[in-house]
């Protein structure tokens, strides 16, 4: 069968790279594995003997049937012919019910995402999983190289933005290997990367309110070249006066013409908390 471009299907043909993905995930016998994009089942069949259970999600009905024939004998594999996303801001409840059921059945298990993710939905899948109250212990994924670089990016670089802060406030991120287009069928037009995220609860503990933080960093980078003062005024419209914003910047020792892309994670977290604290104090005054 031919891969479907609209579903972002690019099949990894190199068995050694499939094995590298599995090794990088460090799958333990107690782990519950979530795979998004079963494809032909090549990665699934390597993970099943290593894990307690694999939940593999495939949107394409034809691929779902084909992979089912490959995985028929794998008793610890649950196949779901579903879209992992309900919409770009929400995971599919059908898939989450399966995951929650297994986690309740095996409370000692770590959930890990291990997948060759479709490029078009890789970012919303990972960001929504990170937003869960109890996110995956790790994510080992094949994604577009550019997305991996954005996740790891440092301040004062073109790749640094909301995605960088969202990932780095909760996880350690590293690129395991850069992958050329030629090892896929059909070859994508860009390079890929095996990226590993290791969830760090102590990092997330520094985020006062995860939902609030998510909205804040998205707003701060919506117009990434705007000055910080303008971004804050826009973000807290009807909540903060311009004089309040000036007070916040002065309190933090930041110049009005500073841009969000210049601030590191710690400073952005403090700016978020300070801004919301003053906005709430004014509301309750």
pLDDT along the chain (285 residues), means of 10: 51 92 98 97 97 98 95 97 96 98 98 96 98 98 98 98 98 98 90 98 98 97 91 94 96 96 98 96 84
- To 5 degrees, how large is the angle CA 191–CA 95–CA 168? 50
pLDDT at residue 57, rounded to an integer: 98
pLDDT at residue 9, rounded to an integer: 58
Quote the CA–CA distance of 48 and 42 in Å, as a whole number. Answer: 11
pLDDT at residue 7, rounded to an integer: 44
CATH classification for the domain delimited by 210-284, as one of 1.10.8.100, 3.40.50.720, 2.60.40.420, 3.30.930.10: 1.10.8.100
Backbone angles phi, psi at 85, to 5 degrees: -105, 130
pLDDT at residue 6, rounded to an integer: 46
Quote the CA–CA distance of 128 and 48 in Å, as a whole number. Answer: 25
pLDDT at residue 4, rounded to an integer: 47
pLDDT at residue 98, rounded to an integer: 98
pLDDT at residue 127, rounded to an integer: 98
pTM of the full structure? 0.94
Quote the CA–CA distance of 131 and 285 in Å, as a whole number. Answer: 32
- Superfamily covering domain 5-204: Vaccinia Virus protein VP39 (3.40.50.150)
Where along the chain do the CATH 1.10.8.100 domains lie? 210-284
Where along the chain do the CATH 3.40.50.150 domains lie? 5-204
């Amino acid at each position: 069968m031919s891969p479907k471009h609209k579903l972002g299907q690019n099949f990894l043909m190199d068995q050694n790279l499939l094995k590298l993905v599995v090794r990088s995930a460090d799958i333990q016998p107690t782990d519950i594995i979530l795979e998004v994009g079963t494809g032909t089942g090549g990665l699934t069949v390597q993970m099943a003997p290593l894990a307690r259970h694999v939940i593999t999600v495939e949107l394409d009905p034809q691929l779902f049937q084909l992979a089912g024939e490959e995985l028929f004998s794998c008793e610890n594999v649950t196949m779901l012919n579903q879209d992992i996303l309900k919409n770009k801001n929400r995971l599919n409840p059908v898939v989450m019910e399966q995951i929650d059921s297994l986690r309740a059945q095996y409370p000692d298990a770590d959930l890990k995402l291990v997948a060759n993710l479709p490029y078009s939905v890789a970012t919303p899948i990972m960001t929504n999983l990170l937003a869960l109250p109890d996110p995956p212990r790790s994510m080992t994924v094949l994604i577009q190289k550019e997305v991996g670089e954005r996740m790891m990016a440092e301040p004062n670089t073109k790749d640094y933005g909301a995605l960088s802060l969202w990932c780095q406030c909760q996880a350690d991120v590293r690129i395991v290997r850069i992958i050329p287009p030629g090892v896929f069928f059909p070859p994508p037009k860009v390079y890929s990367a095996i990226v590993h995220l290791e969830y760090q609860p102590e990092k997330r503990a520094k985020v006062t309110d995860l939902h609030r933080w998510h909205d804040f960093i998205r707003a701060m980078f919506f117009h990434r070249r705007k000055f910080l003062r303008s971004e804050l005024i826009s973000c807290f419209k009807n909540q903060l006066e311009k004089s309040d914003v000036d007070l916040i910047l002065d309190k933090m020792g930041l110049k009005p013409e500073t841009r969000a892309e210049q601030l590191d994670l710690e400073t952005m977290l403090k700016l978020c908390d300070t801004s919301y604290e003053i906005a709430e104090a004014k509301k309750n005054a």
